[in-house]
Amino acid sequence: MLDPHGRWFRVLLGSQSMVSSLAVDMSLPALPAMAVAFSAPAAGVQLTISSYLIGYALGQLFYGPLSDRYGRRPMLLFGLVVYTIAGFLCATAPSIEIMVALRLLQGLGGCVGVVVTRAAARDYFSGSDLGQTMSSITAVQAFGPLLAPVLGGVLADHLGWHSIFIVQGAFAALILALTWSGFAESLAQRDIHAIRPSRLLANYITFFCNPRCIGFALVSACVFGGLFAVLSASPFVLIDLYGLSSQTYGFFFGSSVLGYMVGAFFNRRFLRQGVTGDQLMRWGLGVLAVAAFAMLYFAGTMTGGTLGIMGPYVVYCIAISLVQSNSIAAAMEPIPHMAGTGSSLMGAIQMSSAAVGGIAVNYFFNGTGLPMGIAIVIGALGALAAYWLVARRLPV
């Protein structure tokens, strides 16, 4: 088993989280091709993203308390098995309706990595060490969004969209094997009452009544809502409107993840030098808002071409790295006794916001990038409001 304080353990945790990002980012370049294959409208195919996010959000509500009760390792193995099977089945989906249902199932399995890795990190670390650990996990996880759109574009262009889901299933099977052999149970003492309704209710009340927990959860949720609004709409904006090929879209989109990784690197570096997570969040939120308004301008006026969309988005992703790792660490810090449940609630709120952002931008999609720009601005303003009005309040 891997040493929890060693580098390879953090790589494994990041890889477990990466599994879920592949399900979204790798399939983005194939959405237009899937629309043709299923004879479905753009909004119908975009539901394959939203349904995955809904399953992703709902599943977290179960995995967190169950991991507090039965341990982190059993839940990780179970969720990865569900994801692997669903991924392979997606490759054989005969209709858009079945594909949407299978993506929901895939989301129910894929969410386990994010929930349990956060809880496992909190099992071992606290304070600045927890923030640094989350930055390391974020940096590893970012390799998924970096490579996935490029790989997805190549697969979609040369082997068809079916191959994307075969690769997703195969990668999940690999991580399942590595988890089986390298991940030891991190939970020192299981809570035998964790899934009792009375305990669940008490833990939920604890989370939602603590302004730091719910405030920083809302910060994370709002920035993810804006992020997934762009994820959902950008293939149709950049491929259909701006004329990029699926493969070129993958390279353009992958470049934004480099920003995400750069942000994660500097976040960990600044934390080691004594800069507080709260300071880094304030910096990140300011940059994030400026980038969002820049994208709104370029998307609304259709000036600047593809760089007018991707330039602000790269900056937005850099800012997300400063906000995300520190908001997760801040939300988890007060609740070590219910880390699994807290992680599940935070993730469910985050992914629900992402699903709402994707559904909203799909509903208002008018063939231009304007709805996408409006959605990312709303996410940035919501994160600022959650930070200043809720998260900074002291617990009663």
What is the spatial distance between Cα 133 and Cα 113, in angstroms, rounded to a whole number? 15
Q: What is the pLDDT of residues 53-86, one digit of tens each?
A: 888 888 888 999 999 999 999 999 999 999 999 9
What's the sign of the alpha-carbon dihedral 73, 75, 78, 79? negative
CB 291 within 8 A of CB 315: yes
Q: What is the pLDDT of residues 11-22, one digit of tens each?
A: 898 888 888 878
Q: What is the pLDDT of residues 102-141, one digit of tens each?
A: 999 999 999 898 888 888 888 888 877 787 788 778 777 7
Question: Whole-prediction pTM value?
Answer: 0.75
User: Per-residue pLDDT for 291 more than 80?
Assistant: yes
- 97 pLDDT tier (thresholds 50, 70, 90): very high
What is the spatial distance between Cα 351 and Cα 7, in angstroms, rounded to a whole number? 28
User: Per-residue pLDDT for 208 more than 90?
Assistant: yes
What is the spatial distance between Cα 130 and Cα 240, in angstroms, rounded to a whole number? 42
- Helix residue ranges, H only, the chain: 7-25, 31-37, 42-70, 72-90, 96-110, 112-124, 127-141, 143-158, 162-182, 197-209, 211-235, 246-272, 277-301, 305-332, 339-363, 370-386
Q: Where are the domains of the chain?
A: 7-184+196-391
CB 231 within 8 A of CB 217: no
Q: Which two tokens stand for residue 275?
A: 């800069």
- Domain 7-184+196-391 fold is Growth Hormone; Chain: A; (1.20.1250)
Instruction: Please state, for a pLDDT cut of 90, what percent of the chain lies above it.
Output: 35
* pLDDT at res. 368: 82
Q: What is the pLDDT of residues 149-179, one digit of tens each?
A: 778 888 888 898 999 999 999 999 999 999 9
What is the spatial distance between Cα 109 and Cα 88, in angstroms, rounded to a whole number? 13
Q: Which residue has the higher pLDDT, 216 or 3?
A: 216
Q: How many CA atoms lie within 13 A of 305 on its CB side?
A: 4
Q: What is the pLDDT of residues 330-364, one digit of tens each?
A: 888 888 888 888 888 888 888 778 778 877 887 77
Q: Is 8 buried (19+), middle (13-18) or exposed (0-12) by CB count in 10 A?
A: exposed
The average confidence (pLDDT) of the chain is: 87
Highest mean pLDDT among 3-7, 40-44, 119-123, 281-285: 281-285
Q: What is the pLDDT of residues 249-261, one digit of tens each?
A: 767 666 777 787 8
Q: Which two tokens stand for residue 105?
A: 């199932």
* pLDDT at res. 394: 60
Q: What is the dihedral of CA 375, 143, 220, 388, to 10 degrees?
A: -90
What is the spatial distance between Cα 333 and Cα 299, in angstroms, rounded to a whole number? 38
CB 64 within 8 A of CB 341: yes
